[in-house]
Structure 1
Amino acid sequence: MKALEYALIYLVPVSVIIGLMSGNLFIFLTPLLVFGLVPLLDLAFAKDIDNPTADQAQALSGNLIYRLVFWGCVPLQVVMVVWGASVATEWSLSVEELIGFTLSMGISSAVMGLTVAHELAHREKGSLEYLLSKIVLATVLYAHWGMDHVIGHHQDLGTPKDPSTAKMGESLYHFLPRSISGGFNRIWSIEAARQEQKRRPVWNLNNPMVTVLLGQVVLLIGIALAFGAPGFFYFVFQAMIAVCLLETVNYIGHYGLAREIASDGRYEDVAFHHSWNAGGRLTSRFLFNLGRHSDHYAHPGRHYQLLHHHAHSPQLPAGYPAMVLLALVPPLWRSTMDNRASNSSIQRLLARPED
């Protein structure tokens, strides 16, 4: 039964459909669910701090239901996004309803689509799951992100080289353009260097960056031809909303946490104290244990149901939905998070053994 708890994520696309069918202000049902009801219910439940034993982990790993719940999000994400383009084109929506519907679809794409794509991007390159991550990311025009996240961010996080690590005092509004452009530039440079090492031109179909860019151009053309301008602009704007939410989670996940330079001049290894963690039980079910961030960086290939809670890792004061709302107001964010980030660094220094 615990595996089916993660099927709560399907309530997000369902809320999009219910909101559309109900019309008027009900069109905003999805943002109210994700950023209103879920954070409130998180307060009502005990924190999710239980870790599987070795025997339990073996059983969880072989439980097909966990994977079926997870895999089911992929076709549903594709169907929802394409269906949304037809709604934007064929339904007679008011301006307010179209805005609410596009916002709701963008939130659904982020919560359901990108949470799943994040885990699938860590599967073996060339596998079916890895391909599925590209498909999901393409539905929000961000197919390069999975490559940069695995190859770039996991290696650079907590250092000045990582555009996806928010610096202490940096606002979300400064971080978003830096992270979005910086992540693209980093993976483009990495793949361009690989092509040059193989004495190939950068622009060739063996370059995965070229193939994902061409694929997304073809997708955009297809959406425009099939659904016209309304469907095209809906598709682009829901993608922008989803990407901004994804990058906001990046902002929250490592804000103010930096890796120190070791005695040999290199940055210390990535450790549990370089990521913020969230223990909200309901948020964990909606986001496939994304809040167990530190364990994910220690074990990038570990499936979501096997991730561990680490009590000594930096802990967010609330789950991701509440923290997203807080990040939208920089003064409130800094008053809440800066002392926590500073105290985390001080505690690390005090805990470090003397040389």
Structure 2
Amino acid sequence: MNRNITMHRIRMGSIRTVLAPGIALTVGVIILVADAVNTRNQQDDQFALPDDRSPASLLSFIREMDGSTEQAKNFLESSNFTEVAQAVVAACKAIDDSASTLTEQQQREVDYFRIIYSGYLIFDGSLEDPPELSDLIDRAMAFIDQATEFSTREQTVSDSILRTLEGRGSYQLAAKFAVGVNEFLEKDDSLKAQSYRQQLEQLQTRLRLPGQLMQLATKRLSGEPFNITDLRGKVVLIEFYGTRCKPCIADFPALRRIYADNRDSGFEIVGICLGAPAARISKFTEEHELPWPQLCDDITASLDCNKELADALGIQAVPSTILIDRSGVVRKLGVRPLSPNLTQDLETQLDKLL
């Protein structure tokens, strides 16, 4: 009988065994192993650059990686974002190395993808800095300066650079970059540009916190007064989160573990929920078993009891964090244990401060 038919019957779990039982079992195991290897190779090939290295083919590959197809979206959902970013950056470099000339629109598209994905890899630690970081900042500023108007792509580039710099603790560089972006925005009187200028003002407020004594006087969720000075002598992580924020919820297991491991050594977490009234925060913290203190600046607010508090500290998005040392001085912004690297970062900071 044809060998392919026999293998097919074994793979499909046919009750009728054409080969002898021992041979059938061996062939079945070989097929299962081969299938596993093929599956792994197919997954690896998904991130491999196309054989056709023309700019058009590489740009198509980049767009696919970026999430323009359901396949690429599945990559992101399966936590392969680092592989996606590496593939995109590699494709951008391949376009640079090609002898082909790009149109102005194509070149801006390549620059856009290179900036946002290189920013992620630098933040993730997959790329070193400098010179990568310095080159990335220059590329981003040039990308914005060359724009005829401040569109969504320019804002995405700006956000990517600022997030990367803040996440790595390069607060002065972040402030300098924000000033450069603001100079461009002064030439654009659109509502979008003016709105982003306000965001940059809040960012500058937040970037001034590191190195300063933390000032925070408000109320607990229970209504009792709270002052951050009461926690002097402890290392404090202020965690800004939202009840509908999936990355925030993903942080909680790691935060609970780190809290349990270090609380007796003088570590405390203070939760500040954004975008929710007191009743919802109370229910949410019970459901997710958050044992640390929760703050509520305006317990009567019907929508967001901590909005004014967040605005005063320059907090624009969740999850965000502020790490404070035993003397009450802000040491780091944005330390959050969403990924293993960031978990290690927080634990490294605690090893230094506790």
Does TM-score exceed 0.5, indicating one fold? Answer: no
Say which one has the larger Rg: 2
Q: Which has the higher contact order (CA 8 A, sep 6+)?
A: 1
Q: TM-score, normalised by structure 1?
A: 0.28
Richer in helix (by share): 1
Higher strand proportion (structure 1 or 2) = 2
Instruction: Please give the TM-score of this superposition, normalised by the length of structure 2.
Output: 0.28
